[in-house]
Amino acid sequence: MREILQAALEELFGPGEILALRRLPGGASKEAWALDYQTGKEALPLFLRRAGGGVIYAGTLPLAQEFRLLQIAHAHGVKVPRPLHYFPDLEGREAFLMERLEGESIGARIVRRPEYARVRERLPEAMAQELAAIHAIPLSEVGFLPFPSQPPWQEALDLAYGDLDALDEPHPALEWGLRWLSQNPPPPRPPVLVHGDFRIGNLLVTPEELVAVLDWEFAHIGDPREDLAWPLVRAWRFGEDRKRLGGIGEVGPFLERYNALTGRGIAEGELFWWEVLGNVRWGLGALKQARRHLKGEERSVELAVLGRLAAEMEYEILDLLERHG
């Protein structure tokens, strides 16, 4: 892999030397590598994203399309790492190279550590600004993404039912959540480019600001409320459960800023359907990832641990629906 990278880096930046290449921990479905390339007196910090052993959802984008989306988002001023080079085959798996930015993305640290107190105050409005910019990207520029053949909520629900059926075992709380969702469909909204995993944990921050939106593998054409509600899922609060927006704040300022930038006038109550769906989907995703370990497809303590999160999602679904009445 080092030899292939060396050739690409020389083409991009000129003669130089790879000083360091190390795999980073984390990443349930993609490998993450940090590397430093010395050219002249300058050491360039770079990041390599490489396909892993499996995917969480059937609609996961190939890295070629994820790379193209990064290029488009970067051109439209969305805060993303600058994409540099796509590799169709890097030791048997596709990958792409981008700039490596400084910051923190581990959710538990962002929501708890005192050094991030200031950025926590700024994040709700900063998140709204980035989502508004993502949702403003013209759909004509992302024609390689399939357009929904039915309402986005119905398509999302069908995918969730498919994931549940594939487990081939009973999960009554997840089934109850899906039944409620099917009986209470949301009113329609015009489709937009949806990031698909917009939450604390996929945002790179410093103690002062939001630096970048990461991990675009679940991007698709869908309902803007899907992105707005996803950071409300309990798992993305990282233990700070009283702060509904990703463990950092309240929904009101976040949604108010988004509406001011987009003019969509989305009410907070409209997010509930998508919040329930988000908890169902992550419960299913956790179970699917655990099965990769249990079936021997990819032995990983991280994947095994994900399986236990499904019970927390099931409890949250029942609690949400009970309080909703």
| CATH no., domain 107-324 | 3.90.1200.10
pLDDT of residue 282: 93
Q: Is 99 exposed, middle or buried (0-12, 13-18, 19+ CB in 10 A)?
A: middle
| CATH no., domain 1-99 | 3.30.200.20
Q: Kindly report, residue by residue over 236-265, the tens digit of the pLDDT.
A: 999 999 999 999 999 999 999 999 999 999
Give the Cα separation of 104 and 203 in Å (integer): 8
Q: Does pTM surpass 0.85?
A: yes
Band the pLDDT of 28: cuts 50, 70, 90: low
Residues 6+ apart with CB under 8 A from 279: 177, 233, 234, 235, 313, 316, 317, 320
Highest-pLDDT range among 92-101, 221-230, 299-308: 221-230
Band the pLDDT of 158: cuts 50, 70, 90: very high
pLDDT of residue 299: 74
Q: Kindly report, residue by residue over 100-131, the tens digit of the pLDDT.
A: 999 999 999 999 999 999 999 999 999 999 99
In the chain, what are the domain boundaries? 1-99, 107-324
Q: Kindly report, residue by residue over 73-91, the tens digit of the pLDDT.
A: 999 999 999 999 999 998 8
β-pairing, 210-213 vs 203-205, is antiparallel
High-pLDDT (> 90) share of the chain, %: 80
CB 37 within 8 A of CB 43: yes
Give the Cα separation of 137 and 177 in Å (integer): 32
Give the Cα separation of 8 and 67 in Å (integer): 16
Give the Cα separation of 317 and 312 in Å (integer): 9
Beta-ladder partners of 90 = 93
Beta-ladder partners of 34 = 22, 47
Instruction: Output the CA–CA distances (angstroms, integers) from residue 311 to 97, 166, 215, in the order listed.
Output: 37, 18, 25
Instruction: Output the CA–CA distances (angstroms, integers) from residue 53 to 47, 81, 83, 232, in the order listed.
Output: 19, 24, 23, 28
**Whether residue 271 has pLDDT greater than 90:** yes
| Alpha helix stretches (DSSP H) within the chain | 2-13, 63-75, 107-112, 117-135, 152-167, 172-183, 224-229, 251-262, 272-294, 301-324
- Domains 1-99 and 107-324 are alike in CATH topology: no
